[in-house]
Structure 1
């Protein structure tokens, strides 16, 4: 028989895999994913895993660890299917959930708190979304989060293995997106811990932590130093451009991330309540302070994107779990009126969401017939079961438990049943839902492709590099990607064939097959 802890881990593992597999195949490739996929493909084509390139040009904007994992997946699966190449991100996300459980159990010695922390995280909308995309963000933030949890354990138990884990996780975080995760998660944790604990608890260990950070930074810098030594001017140019980007692009106000409550998904109202309710226990305050400091840190940076807010979703899972544990263990009659109201409101909110989803599925699944009738019946059955279970007779002792568990499970059901329909109807161009396949004549040819204007995603879709048309090519046969005939080439080339090509954004353009006269 499995032990209680192993049962928890098994349940979390199954739920995590279900959460990510429900949507990993749905999203179309965006610019960030395309860059990672292309760089991984060129690693294999060039047999060079150290000097990263994008469309044949040096690519030093991001460290290579996520691309290494993508290239390794591409190599062992012999596949370039996008959902296959997203598996490394999914595995890192699942690892984070399980590591959170293990560390919280060691820190709190509380199995319930450990389980609920991981359960809340794996059912958070933004975490599921980012974990199913092949971008750099999940790596740098997840590893920095794991490094912070390892640091907490080291502060408690003073074991060398935890210091070693801090170094490993920080190396992986640095190698994923530089110091971004270190700044947004690890430093706020150190500040929160020092603020919340007396000097004698951390004074003698701070030098070892500082040494661990130095070692991690030094090891993770080997790649960057190597690129600098071999490509000095180009590397410095890229670094200058990157530093400028963080202060000039995607600039938003300091309040940009305050809508993170919405992106908590079905935990929206619990997250608001946990944010407003300061824990009374000094030991419990550390997670609350950590969350506040992290929010401040990422808010004062001018460059902001929704996925850069991932640190607050990771840390918020701990604050919400504290609230959930309180509800689990406090008799209903001892709850305050506002606490009882939150449970009742959450129940009606979940029911409203399920009814909304039922209407959505009925319209697009049954009336518009966008999914098979069998699949439609399965989704409807699951929704009805949820409605029954959340409303059948309950006792005051298990009411809070049921509401909390169904808050998370409802998010998973919505992802499972509605994500594809949402993507198909609201995320894609409605006029051009289905892509026109690329002609096999283009795919199998070795002729170079030129263009005056193209998106990097097209390099991924076409499966080969695209050269910028600056001078007249020297090749006998070429392709030209563009809306109109390339007049600059007409004196030297003649058009043999024109292929219709549908771009990543679903708009049509032409792919001209040209032969030198």
Structure 2
């Protein structure tokens, strides 16, 4: 690796560590994380490493590779450490950046643009979200990025074919073992479409044997766990697979055009990303037209393929952010070269985009002072105010001087500043005076605790162990002399009207971190806890 490339890589790793690892344990556990963390905990506590479970029930919706990594991290640092539980996802975000950075020069693009594209990717909103969250999307796409890198080498070289085929198969299998065929469809297939159209597959006939090795190895690594579960627990596997397959067509259905604001998911790069998609404008301004067409086709193919699937969620756009960052870098590289010479009618977009970011930094000290409850957060408020105000002022200064490279780098530093000092201020927005954690019930009572009907992952996670979920009929058939029953407040009428058990006490638990008067406050995170005693 050239020295300049090493320098860029070291800076990229530093930026990645700041963005993905600083204050990693600040945010509370969300529903997707709770499901994954419960499964990891039950792997360790109940030895369910292959037949994975959630709340002691089969959970075969997702393959187990990311959960294995999470379980191992928790075994090293403890399940009480959110940093440990989220660390594997953060490391996979760095892994994704590494292979993304390594791939771009193979398009005959300079190391500097590869560096710029990687910084754009690292600071894109949905990449930040996925890399700091204990969800498995970053795993499947991170591993597939590595597979794409070795497939590019496989298609573009005449030597090392078997080595590249095996490495591509290994990471393809890891991607499949992270979230099934998601990345195959949303990242690899669009890549193959764009590669085939722009670069073609010349000389592929001489590579058939190593390619067959790739297919065979990839299928073995991808499929062994699914086959094992299908053979050992066929009833649960078939039931879960049927439900998951049906959801693709019937659950959370959105119109075809739902994803066509996809570029907004890049966050601070929304406007540059949009400009980068304007082929008539950029086609004569980019440094490598062929590579630009490839990145544009890769991006648009991914969006179209995702749009075909009836089930749609904003987070499914994560794989689109990868080629979009590459595509956006062509516009950014053009600004690096030509910003001073550009006419004002082209510059106003740059002034507006970065001026808006600068304005946010400059007004933050005043805005945060009036909006946030800063008691206990003054240190973070002062540090964040100094950093964001300083960066905002510097962006304005260098915009006036027309030094776009400094403006670009300051924008990345702006994100780093938010992650380093601004993230702890999140809780200044989330104070819930009624908050009471269900974890208080751990080891408090010697009798059994059950839950009526509803299973809420966050509740199970905080409680620390599985809770039996029962229907009304099953509750009334219990022979426990004394027991605890968790239920949603709207179901309290069941306890009050039944005559088999006497109510000894009642308490309310609220797992919402959000204030009751703000959006995001969820009734499903509230439970009424009854201590019941069997009537004689």
Return the TM-score normalized by structure 1.
0.90
Task: Confirm or deny: 8 A CA contact 1:448 1:478 kept in the other structure.
Answer: yes
Contact 1:117–1:320, Cα closer than 8 Å, also in 2: yes
CA distance in 1, matches of 2:361, 2:80: 36
From the superposition, tell whether residues 260 and 239 of structure 1 become closer, same or farther in structure 2 (CA, over 3 Å).
same
Deviation at 1:54, TM superposition (A): 1.2
3-state DSSP of counterpart to 2:80: coil
Q: Secondary structure at the match of 1:86?
A: helix
The alpha-carbon deviation at position 87 of structure 1 amounts to: 1.1
Q: Distance in 1 between matches of 2:332 and 2:205?
A: 33
Question: Where do residues 406-421 of structure 1 align in structure 2 (5 Å cutoff)?
Answer: 406-421=410-425
Cα distance in 1, alignment partners of residues 308 and 324 from structure 2: 19
Structure 1 residues 419, 78: closer, same or farther in 2, change over 3 A?
closer
Query: Which of 307, 327, 331 pairs up with 1:323?
Result: 331
Query: 1:96 corresponds to which residue?
Result: 96
Which one is further off, 32-41 or 16-25?
16-25
Matched, 1:357 2:364: yes
Distance 1:257 1:415, change over 3 A: farther
Of 335, 342, 352, which residue of structure 2 is paired with 1:345?
352
**2: distance between equivalents of 1:439 and 1:31?**
16
Write out per-residue CA displacement over residues 115-174 of structure 1, whole angstroms, 9 at most, x where no aligned residue.
112111111111101211111211112222332232223222343433222112111110
The match for 1:293 among 294, 301, 305 is 301
Deviation at 1:414, TM superposition (A): 3.6
Partners of 2:376 and 2:271 in 1: CA distance: 32
Q: Which residue of 2 aligns with 1:265?
A: 267
RMSD, aligned α-carbons: 2.8
In structure 2, the CA distance between the partners of 1:207 and 1:405, relative to structure 1 (3 Å rule), is farther
Q: Secondary structure at the match of 1:36?
A: helix
The verdict on how the C-alpha distance between 1:488 and 1:184 changes in structure 2, with shifts beyond 3 A counting, is same
Map of 2:529 onto structure 1: 511
Residue 418 (structure 1) shift:
4.3
CA contact (8 A) 2:384 2:418 kept: no
Alignment of structure 1 residues 74-473 onto 2, 5 Å: 74-108=74-108, 110-158=110-158, 159-160=160-161, 161-200=163-202, 202-205=204-207, 208-209=210-211, 211-277=213-279, 279=283, 281-330=289-338, 332-333=340-341, 335=342, 337-365=344-372, 368-392=373-397, 399-422=403-426, 424-425=428-429, 428=430, 432=432, 435-438=435-438, 440=440, 442-443=442-443, 445=445, 447-454=447-454, 455-470=456-471, 471=474, 472-473=477-478
Separation in 2, partners of 1:321, 1:345: 18
TM-superposed deviation, 1:384: 2.6
CA offsets, 1:19-50, max 9 Å, x none?
12345333332222111111111111112311
* Superimposed CA distance per residue, residues 157-215 of structure 1 (whole angstroms, 9 cap, x where no aligned partner): 34343322211211111011110110111011111111112442545446644541342
Q: Hey, what's the Cα distance between the residues in 1 that align with 2:442 and 2:357?
A: 50
- Please state how far the C-alpha of 1:336 moved relative to its aligned partner: 5.0
Q: Does 1:501 align with 2:486?
A: no
Distance 1:77 1:239 in 2: 34
TM-score normalised by structure 2 residue count? 0.87
Kept in 2, the 8 Å contact 1:480–1:486? The answer is: no
- Would you say the 8 A contact 1:254–1:300 is kept in 2? yes
Report if aligned partners of 1:124, 1:411 keep a CA contact under 8 Å in 2: no
Corresponding residue SS for 1:200: coil
SS where residue 435 of structure 1 aligns? coil
Q: Alignment partner of 1:221: what SS?
A: helix
Structure 1: 5+ residue stretches without partners: none
Quote the Cα distance in structure 1 between the aligned partners of 2:22 and 2:9.
20
Alignment match, 1:32: 32
Cα shift at 1:223: 0.7
Superposed CA deviations along residues 375-429 of structure 1, whole A, max 9, x for unmatched, are 3221121123213322336796x7121222223222333444544545653xx5x
- 1:33-48 matches, within 5 Å, as 33-48=33-48
Partner of residue 516, structure 2: none
1:51 alignment counterpart: 51
Distance 2:433 2:88 in 1: 28
SS of alignment partner, residue 190 of structure 2? helix
Aligned length: 508
Q: Does 1:7 align with 2:14?
A: no
CA–CA separation in structure 2 for the residues paired with 1:340 and 1:268: 16
Aligned residues of 1:274 and 1:320 also touching (Cα < 8 A)? yes
Comparing 47-56 with 480-489, which one deviates more in the overlay? Answer: 480-489
Distance 1:347 1:489, change over 3 A: closer
